Amino acid sequence: MNKDLFLIGIDGGGSGTRVVLGDAQGRELAQAASGPSGLGLGVERAWQAIEAGCASAFAGAGVPLDWSRCVLGCGLAGVNNRDWLAAFRAQAPAVAGLAVESDVYTTLLGAHGGAHGVVVALGTGSQAAVLDGNGECRVAGGFGYPSGDEASGAWLGLRAIVHAQQALDGRAPNDDLAQALLAHTGAHDRDSLVVWLCEANQTAYARLAPIVIAHRTHPFAARLLGEAGVDVGKMIAALDPSATLPVALCGGLGAPLREYVPEIYQARLREPLADSAHGGLQLAQREAVRIAG
């Protein structure tokens, strides 16, 4: 392998991007973060966020950024849209190597260190995946905002805002949950909330999820969180009918939603070994070996 190369793991979602910079052997040199790079928010915006994160990581390592010496392993939300993926590859800088997979695949690599297991990635969006005994990766969920991504931040936020809507016109009590949601949106009446709703994307809705979690004892929030837990269970069951594999809940909502996963799955839950960005670093390492061979 070319010892002058740098390996870069990228975890790109709808709320932010995480970058892990490694040397040619995969030894970690620096980490950085930047804005969202999920492809659903635009390919140009995705590359801007990735380039900003990489520049920050190289600066942190005290090394000049030279794309021609970089092999990128990207785990990105939205790559299952073939048009977005093709556009992403077409707009890439002149790098030494580029491997692109779904962020749930890099989450799987990071969480179980490449061993067999299930992950449920719960962030702005959601998707579950399994690495089975044949080394095959199969997925469940991940059909995207607004119709899919059950138990995700966007899914929770999209449903939570209904409570605020109903509080504004008297269909629900104007309680602490409603007031917290309205304060976050900056809305004070029906018309100002409609303006927020018309501009809101998946990232905006996902930012409401912490409010739901903070009000977990509220009956409306508790019902939503319970439904999220049931949906996580459905994904696990779909991918592991044998009910034997370890399961890691990953992403920003992995820990908060753990207690809502049905009891039947609790004994199989494990802490992830590493995150999706480090899974991306493993992907970059594989790509470097491939291009060297």
Number of H helices, E strands in the chain: 12, 10
- Which residues fall within 8 angstroms of residue 268, CB to CB, at 6 or more apart? 236, 243, 245, 246, 247
For residue 257, give the nearest of 230, 284, 285 by alpha carbon.
230
203, 14 contact by CB (below 8 A): yes
Count of CA atoms in the C-beta half-sphere (13 A) of 207: 15
For 127, the token pair is 């998707």
Structure confidence at residue 126 (pLDDT): 92
Q: How many residues does the chain have?
A: 293
pLDDT digits (tens, 9 = 90+) for 62-100: 999 999 999 999 999 889 899 999 999 999 999 999 999
What are the residue ranges spanned by the domains of the chain? 6-113+275-292, 116-272
Residue type at 250?
Answer: C
Q: Cα–Cα distance between 69 and 5 in angstroms, integer?
A: 5
> Token match 């104007």: residue?
174
**116-272: CATH number:** 3.30.420.40
Structure confidence at residue 137 (pLDDT): 86
Count of CA atoms in the C-beta half-sphere (13 A) of 215: 21
218, 209 contact by CB (below 8 A): no
Residue type at 288?
Answer: A
For 215, the token pair is 């009000």
> Token match 């753990």: residue?
258
145, 202 contact by CB (below 8 A): yes
164, 185 contact by CB (below 8 A): yes
The answer to whether the peptide bond before residue 36 is cis (omega within 30 degrees of 0) is: no
List, for the chain, all residue ranges whose pLDDT scores fall below the cut of 70.
1-2
Q: Cα–Cα distance between 130 and 117 in angstroms, integer?
A: 6
pLDDT digits (tens, 9 = 90+) for 102-131: 888 898 999 998 888 999 989 989 999 998
Specify whether domain 6-113+275-292 bears CATH 3.40.309.10.
Answer: no
Structure confidence at residue 293 (pLDDT): 75
Structure confidence at residue 140 (pLDDT): 95
Q: Cα–Cα distance between 287 and 72 in angstroms, integer?
A: 8
143, 182 contact by CB (below 8 A): no
φ, ψ at 81 (rounded to 5°) = -85, 105
DSSP secondary structure string, 133-160?
A: TTS-EEEE----TTT--TTSHHHHHHHH
Structure confidence at residue 2 (pLDDT): 64
Structure confidence at residue 1 (pLDDT): 55
Query: Would the CATH topology of 6-113+275-292 be identical to that of 116-272?
Result: yes
